[in-house]
Structure 1
Amino acid sequence: MKGIVFNLLEDAVCEQYGAETWELLLDDAGLDGVYSSLGDYPDAEIQAIVTAAAIRLNVSESSVLHWFGETAMPLLKTTYPEIFEPFHSSRAFVLSVNTIIHPEVMKLYSGARCPFFKFQELPDGALQMTYKSSRKLLDLAHGFVMGTAAQWNERVTIERFPAGSARENDMIIRWLAD
């Protein structure tokens, strides 16, 4: 995993819980926490930090990943406003993830292995998004979608399906009218 993900997680934790909490999470995970944004690090390290956060905060790992995704979006927008500028809505931004966002990520962070998303517009106007990645971070993607909507002051609901079901990697996203 690219170091930028670790940097974002550190920023999110420090902003909400303080730098001491980040240090405690690293200690709990048995990691030194020195992450260069361009560096590559084992996926197991992000998992160890997420597990440590779940234990320390007494929440599920799923909740930690969701929180991280949602919290990371304003940090990303501040750091890379040019990625957000061309879009008029969170829906347009989400739909561009494979064709614009992830190619930009790969330009910035050589060797990044981004997930792939399959999209299907549903008759009721909802968007079905299917997550494809060996990393199994659908909860993070869920948080990213929620955080993206917040960047445009939009509200969304996300329907998920049970783990182990044929649709466990699908989300149904509905944008709510104000």
Structure 2
Amino acid sequence: MKGVVFNLLEEAVTRSFGPEVWDDLVDEADVSGAYTSLGNYSDDEIVQLVAVAATKLSLSPSEVLRWFGEKAMPILKERYGALFVGHPSAKNFVLSVNSIIHPEVRKLYAGAACPYFHFKTGEEGATLMSYQSSRKMCDLAHGFIKGASKLFCEEVDIHHLSCMNHGADRCLMEVKWHQ
């Protein structure tokens, strides 16, 4: 996993709980804690950090990933504002992830293994989003969508219809946008 993800997690934790909590998470997870945005790090390190955070906060790892995604979105906008330009809504922004956002991520961070999302329109205008990745971090994507909706001052409902973390071969989410 690219170091930029670890940097976002550190910033989200530090902003919400303070730098000493980040240091505690790093110590308890027994990971290096020194991440450069261009570096590549084992997926196991993010899994360990999330597991320790879940224990400390009495949350599930899924809840921690959702929290992280939501808190990371404003940080992403601060750091990479150009990715948000020209998007009139959260839905428009999220639907551009494969064609605009992830290609830019790959330019900035060579070797980034970004997940690929499949989108189609469901009932009543909902978006069906399919996610398949060996990382099984659909809850992080869920949090990013929530965070994007907040940035655009919109409401969104997200329902997981199937999930790799519960034995399915892919994750499928129904995303209902309220503008």
Instruction: Establish whether TM, by shorter chain, passes 0.5.
Output: yes
Gaps of 5+ in 1: none
The answer to whether the 8 A contact 1:66-1:139 is kept is: yes
Would the aligned equivalents of 1:161 and 1:167 in 2 still touch at CA under 8 Å?
Answer: no
Q: Which residue of 2 aligns with 1:9?
A: 9
Q: Equivalent residue for 1:79?
A: 79
Gaps of 5+ in 2: none
Aligned residue number for residue 170 of structure 1:
172
| Structure 1: 4+ residue segments shifted above 4 A | 165-168
Q: Tell whether the 8 Å contact from 2:132 to 2:170 is kept in structure 1 after alignment.
A: no
Structure 2 counterpart of 1:35? 35
- Identity, in percent, stands at 50
Per-residue Cα deviation, 1:110-166 (whole angstroms, up to 9, x for no partner): 100000000011241100000121110000000000001111001000111354365
Q: What's the RMSD between the two structures over aligned residues? A: 1.3
TM-score scaled by length of structure 1 = 0.96
* Cα distance in structure 1, aligned partners of 2:99 and 2:85: 16
Equivalence for 2:26: 26
What is the deviation of 1:32? 2.3
CA distance in 2, matches of 1:176, 1:142: 16
- 1:175/1:167 Cα in 2 relative to 1: closer, same or farther (>3 Å)? farther
Q: Tell me how many residue pairs correspond in the alignment.
A: 177
Q: How does 1:81-160 map to 2 (within 5 A)?
A: 81-160=81-160
Encode CA deviations 1:85-129: one digit per residue, 9 max, x unaligned.
121111111111001100000001110000000001124110000
CA–CA distance in structure 2, aligned partners of residues 71 and 113 of structure 1: 22
CA–CA distance in structure 2, aligned partners of residues 113 and 133 of structure 1: 9
Residue type at the aligned position of 1:169: C
Tell me the secondary structure at the aligned position of residue 88 of structure 1: coil
* Equivalent position amino acid for 1:9 in 2: L
Distance 2:169 2:159 in 1: 11
* Distance in structure 2 (CA, Å) of the matches to 1:34 and 1:166: 35
114-123 or 6-15, which deviates more: 114-123
TM-score normalised by structure 2 residue count: 0.95
